[in-house]
């Protein structure tokens, strides 16, 4: 139970770092809009409850898809195909961003215990820049 609490705190810390960066804040906003649009659509067209609509939207975009809900209407099926094409990339980018921030915070927490929070944000930006340079080098 203690490890769950510690991991949850680190995830929350990751969200705080993400929120402070303009480009990742924009990504969080886009994910929120995407989930909201799915929630509104499924609750209106498929007649799911609001929480079931949000749940279905989230499960669909994370590709978990338990299968306990599915669109029954033709419009719902078409919307879901488009929704996945648009939302899956956004959700993947967001999950990757959270995971990178979480891993970075976990690795560097002990090494930089006394560092200022601003320095940690700069370190995350440097890690992301290194990742981009490495991706460029791999593709060349």
What b-and-e string marks burial along 44-83, b requiring 16 or more CB atoms within 10 Å of the CB?
Answer: eebebeeebbbbbbbebbeeeeeeebebeeeebeebbeeb
> What digits encode the pLDDT tens for the residues 10-34?
788 877 877 888 878 888 899 999 9
Asked if pLDDT for residue 97 goes beyond 60, the answer is yes
What percentage of the chain carries pLDDT values higher than 90? 45
Asked if pLDDT for residue 138 goes beyond 50, the answer is no
Asked if pLDDT for residue 37 goes beyond 90, the answer is yes
**Stated pTM of the model:** 0.67
> What digits encode the pLDDT tens for the residues 102-121?
787 777 765 555 455 555 55
Asked if pLDDT for residue 71 goes beyond 70, the answer is yes
């Amino acid at each position: 139970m203690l490890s769950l609490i510690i991991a949850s705190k680190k995830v929350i810390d990751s969200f705080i770092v993400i929120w402070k960066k303009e480009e990742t804040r924009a990504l969080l906003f886009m994910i929120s809009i995407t989930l909201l649009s799915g929630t509104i659509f499924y609750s209106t067209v498929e007649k799911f409850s609001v929480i079931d609509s949000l749940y279905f939207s989230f499960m669909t975009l994370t590709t978990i898809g338990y299968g306990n809900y599915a669109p029954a209407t033709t419009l719902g099926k078409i919307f879901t195909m488009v929704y996945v094409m648009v939302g899956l990339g956004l959700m993947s980018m967001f999950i990757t961003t959270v995971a990178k921030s979480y891993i970075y915070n976990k690795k560097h927490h002990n090494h930089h215990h006394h560092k200022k929070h601003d320095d940690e944000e700069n370190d995350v930006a440097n890690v992301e820049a290194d990742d981009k340079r490495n991706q460029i080098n791999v593709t060349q």
